Structure 1
């Protein structure tokens, strides 16, 4: 999959993607960079430790990596959030700049960095230049770049094939090594038109765990190399059960029925998420954004 790349970049990419089957189960906990202490992710130093054994890579902010992750952790890759500069309190969050330099990411032993682009938004131009700058700087260190086709409130109606094909292709044309985008009807066409591997974003909280499994299964069947799950794991009642079932679909060829049976068998008291706070209506409103 990455044969034409330098040894250093391939080595880092295979910390993100499982070399055994060229597939990827990424877990995102970078929501706090614009949403603050998001429900289910209030204590990343405790919550991540329980799920790290089941994933290939973790997407997170530089500050959470350096303060909440045990530096002795082995066996997974770190994808660092490299763009920011706004919060959920603004009308939209597309007014972003780079918050991390490639050199600093290397110092933090990152496997890759993630840059959001907002195609069609007010600040489309600057977010595309953010991606371009990071790709150019990261090339000096053989550091992989993940291009994220983000959508804000103004673009919430853009999760459809024509838009996602456009945004994903632009990210690839700029030189992103992997594109993270959303699933849509006709998603196989989005994959076919993007010359680099695609990872599907879990997106907003889905109604049931079976919806999460179907999203994962359909994404893989349409050609994605994996998924990047966030709230659909962290805010579920049994996060360890669901992440293991998602892993079974990606790496073991399980179908939705088999994965659902796994969730049922693993949904024990020991695997139940331990809520520390009750979620308020205001928290729900904030968590539903983006």
Structure 2
């Protein structure tokens, strides 16, 4: 059994310091033992190996690997992968994140087509595209997102596209470029409650992120919007409930809540492991507040079961609209 899986340990890039900005920080407490409900099977099936081969052949980056996602074995076995565009190096340095930080390389101008080809080869019905933050780019990578969406539409017309974007902070006009490309789902994670931003997500601004999601709906109401948070970082229950209200005020459709897992002793500590019954109460409350869909479990991650969730989102919207259409 395994929890956080470091399948990049033999990667040539591992010789580079992964988080140079954290190297001189004091070590954070590490939970000696994880509870029984935080358990997953280690990857290694034939289908998992085939998915990995396609990713490697195209020189692609996946957030599944870079973020040490605990669900990689399950997802890759189903030939599901979340592609991370614009490189493997982020310009932010969030205290929770395992993605490499530093000065990124130039964009691979052929990457959108590589992604499109991989989606077609994997036969994906639904694909999730995310990225590192690229504060070094004038548009934050918005045009690259748009080109990637277009390339997927060309290579695999039947595939629905979900994007998980950075916040495009101080990148005027960037959001409009991405929305104009018409992704089926626009996801931007708040990650944590506002009181924790200074220590957990210092490079971001909570209300900017909320406004970003609200603006997507203003630009194109047909696009599903989605956001997610981690719990176990020391947040209070009432803060999570207020965050739900903030997202509903922005007309967000889908909320995901998962347990924070500490990638290393240099990352933010796990203050508490939230038991499954508390996740269930969050789910019940979120539905009562009006979200079309809620996923709240210890192992919930933004892209976990994304294809199945998209079908559920469509069904939930249709069910909500049906009474109005029949009136």
* TM-score normalised by L of structure 1: 0.45
Which structure has the larger Rg? 2
* TM-score normalised by L of structure 2: 0.41
